[in-house]
Amino acid sequence: MHRPLTYLTTIGVVSVLCYFFLDLSQTGEETGEDSAATELAFDGYSEGINTVFYNENGDVDYTLRATRQFHLKDQSALLEKPLVRFFENGVSTWNIVAESGLVGGNTEASARLMESIRLSGDVEVHRLDDYGNSTVLSTQLLDIDPNREILETQDPVQMVTASITHAGQGMFADLNRDEIQFHSNNSGHYESQGNHADTEQ
């Protein structure tokens, strides 16, 4: 388990201490709950953030970038166009992009502020191995435990590689082990060495 030291580097920060309100009725509609707007109080706003986390050896563990960040009073933060990058031996291994994100709040210590990251809207997980082979995972909602490098979702997921196209409902991925598990409704096809497309159910 990674226990990152939270050295924070913020680029182009504009601190504006005022209050904003965000209409989250769309979230309520997606979950089938009451679509009444939820009001959240902002106490800070930043542009062009770049947050870097180092592990106990002083190496870059992961980074979090976003075009904008709205800091909420419960110590959580809303992100626009977030980019999460995981590193191994100084090299970026997994890159994750989305339309928006939410960094978990309600934590007493700032060192625990990044214990959870929720990404939503056209989420894509990109991986390029040592041989140049690409893996792309696509979904609409993704929960990230950055300290353990765990990805989870209950939403539909599609995985595309050079030889495999796979779809399933729900996913658990351990990036440290390069393991991806789909929960149900699995389907897809792969290209065999003879260039024949085989279908799996």
At 164, which CATH number? 2.60.450.10
Q: How many domains does the chain fold into?
A: 1
- Return d(Cα 137, Cα 166) in angstroms, integer: 9
Predicted pLDDT of residue 43? 77
DSSP string covering 31-56: TTS--------EEEEEEEEEEEEE-T
Cβ-based neighbour number of residue 33 at 10 Å: 10
Q: Which tokens in the block code for residue 163?
A: 């030889």
Q: Which amino acid is at 6?
A: T
pLDDT band at 132 (very low <50, low <70, confident <90, very high): confident
Q: What percent of the chain has pLDDT over 70?
A: 70
What average pLDDT does range 54-61 have in this prediction? 89
To which residue do tokens 């990109």 refer?
Answer: 126
Residue 52, in any domain of the structure:
yes
Give the mean model confidence (pLDDT) for residues 62-78. 90
Query: Domain range for residue 189?
Result: 40-200
